[in-house]
Amino acid sequence: MGVDSLAYVVTSGWASGVNVYATVLVTGLLGRVGGVDGVPDVLQRTDVLILAGGLWGVEFVADKIPYVDNAWDAVHTVIRPTIGAIIGALLAGEAQDVNEAFAAVLGGGTALASHAAKAGLRLAVNASPEPVSNIILSLLEDGAVVGVILFSVNHPYAALAIALALMAGAGILLVVLFRAIRTTVARFLGESAAPT
């Protein structure tokens, strides 16, 4: 496994944790019609592309609906890291050695970390009473996944840096949002408990 493929394993792992079906579809299309070398043949298969496209369509709708997105994320707590690990192993090639296992763990671990950040942000955003923030966040996630995957073709290290920065930023934002929610709830409970 070369350094470029290692960068793509982490980048695709991050993308899989946010939107696994977009990751599979865009990666497969890059290999099939984009002429990008190194894309595993299985990701370029017609049935895989159709299934990934259909499931991306379902996710596109589900991610825009408050609380439905949380249920979708709960189901995908296993699916996203697993597929991220599979993509990592596929990108390592037919090595049949420690590189393939390392790529699988790295891809799956990165997918799990980015999935946890996404799911946590969604829980925090659903605490707001309006649906607009959910829609905007979902569109930003989809755009970021497609953009970073496409960017990684010619700039794997820059895409890797962007993916890691987005994951770190999501984690920080998650902490800030949960602290704000906790403070607001504590303030509300303190005011409602005060004698009138």
pLDDT in tens, 49-100: 999 999 999 999 999 888 899 899 999 999 999 999 999 888 877 556 677 7
Bigger pLDDT: 78 or 177? 78
Print the domain residue range for 12.
3-193
CA distance 47 to 50: 5
Token digits of residue 32: 């099939």
On whether the CB atoms of residues 144 and 26 are closer than 8 A, the answer is: no
| 14 pLDDT higher than 70 | yes
CA distance 17 to 24: 12
pTM for the model stands at 0.84
pLDDT tens per residue, range 107-159: 888 998 898 888 888 887 777 767 788 888 899 999 999 999 999 988 999 99
Quickly count: other Cβ atoms within 10 Å of residue 137's Cβ.
Answer: 18
The total of structural domains in the chain comes to 1
> H or E segment at 157?
helix 156-193
Quickly count: other Cβ atoms within 10 Å of residue 168's Cβ.
Answer: 12
